[in-house]
Structure 1
Amino acid sequence: MARRRCRPARGAAVVDFVLVLTILVPLFLGVLQVGLVLMVRNTLASAAAEGARHAAALDRDLADGEARTRAQIDGALSGRFADDVDATTVAIDGRPSVRVTVRATVPALGLAGPGVSISVQGHAVEETP
């Protein structure tokens, strides 16, 4: 019986590395994008709620709530996320309330390009004398 000689596995590590990276890099970037979108969404929701509470105070109006929301977003993220802020008066269970809506687009991985559109709202019941 003839014995076969085993060839050394030269270059196999490079091929394995490339095959693993084709799976891991998109997975890692996807997780990073989801984390970025959730962080921006939570920050915008918090700013909208703070703006609604500010606008619902006794001596404040809707413009004060919008300005407070924009300032919160600009301080936490970037002013580009505060371009579309809208405050309106609504009725919640028959009580006059303030609703602040923020709409923004989160670009891919925080860079330029196509992004994810986000719309969040914050509500607060108006104070009465």
Structure 2
Amino acid sequence: MLLVPRDERGSAVTEFVMVTALVVFLFMAVFQLGLVLHIRNTLISCASEGARLGARADAEPGLGAARARELISASLADSYADNVTVGTGVVGGVQVVEVRVRAPFPVIGLLGPDGQLDVTGRAFLERQ
């Protein structure tokens, strides 16, 4: 029969607790990074779709901002659609519609105290 030295007793429990805490922390960090990237990509997609609608020959640029707000509200929380602006600009000598979205940066889950995500979607104006 093998005897465990007295100074080794209970070390498996503490080792399990420390390793489990580390693994949970790493999992949450990777999950949070994935959430931030998902929200960023969703905002870019919605802004680009709004810019494409606003750049159509039979539409006004303001429709693009409304469409971006609608898409953001449908895919994320309504608070992410609060600050959507639209404007026109020139890129390479061609007029474009720009839909800009400023949204809270999700720091813990979907809560975002200070940071801002700033994304822009552009589309060439069809009537030039």
- TM bracket (short chain): 0.7 to 0.9
Q: Which structure 1 residue ranges, 5 or more long, are not aligned?
A: none
Deviates more, 1:36-45 or 1:56-65: 56-65
1:62-91 alpha-carbon deviations (Å, 9 max, x no partner): 210000000111111111101111110101
Matched, 1:24 2:23: yes
Aligned to 1:90, the other structure's residue is in SS state strand
**Equivalent in the alignment of 2:5:** 7
Instruction: Say whether the 8 Å CA contact 1:37–1:106 is kept in structure 2.
Output: yes
Q: Which residue of 2 aligns with 1:108?
A: 107
Aligned to 1:43: 42
Residue 113 of structure 1: how far off its partner (Å): 5.4
Q: Aligned equivalents of 2:44 and 2:112: distance in 1?
A: 23
Contact 1:101 1:119 in 2 (8 A): yes
Q: Can you list the C-alpha shifts for 1:85-123, whole angstroms capped at 9, x where unaligned?
A: 111010111111101111111333324353642111100
Q: Which moved more, 1:38-47 or 1:26-35?
A: 26-35
What is the DSSP-based 3-state SS (H/G/I as helix, E as strand, rest coil) of the residue aligned with 1:49? helix
What RMSD over aligned residues (CA atoms) do the two structures have, in Å? 1.9
Q: Quote the Cα distance in structure 2 between the aligned partners of 1:66 and 1:82.
A: 10
- State the partner residue of 2:127: 128
Which ranges of 4 or more aligned residues in structure 1 deviate by more than 6 Å? none
Tell which structure's C-alpha radius of gyration is larger. Answer: 1
Q: Answer whether contact 1:107 1:115 (CA < 8 A) is retained.
A: no
Q: Closer, same or farther in 2 for the Cα pair 1:112/1:96, shift >3 Å?
A: closer
Judge conservation of contact 2:53–2:63 (CA < 8 Å) in 1.
yes
Q: Quick one: structure 1 residues 95 and 113, their matched pair in 2 at CA, closer, same or farther if it must change by over 3 Å?
A: closer
Residues 36 and 109 of structure 1 are in contact (CA less than 8 Å); yes or no, is this contact kept in structure 2? no
Say which SS state the counterpart of residue 108 (structure 2) adopts.
Answer: helix
Q: TM-score, length-normalised on structure 1?
A: 0.86
Contact 1:53 1:123 in 2 (8 A): yes
Q: What runs of 5+ residues in structure 2 fail to find an aligned partner?
A: none
CA distance in 2, matches of 1:64, 1:20: 53
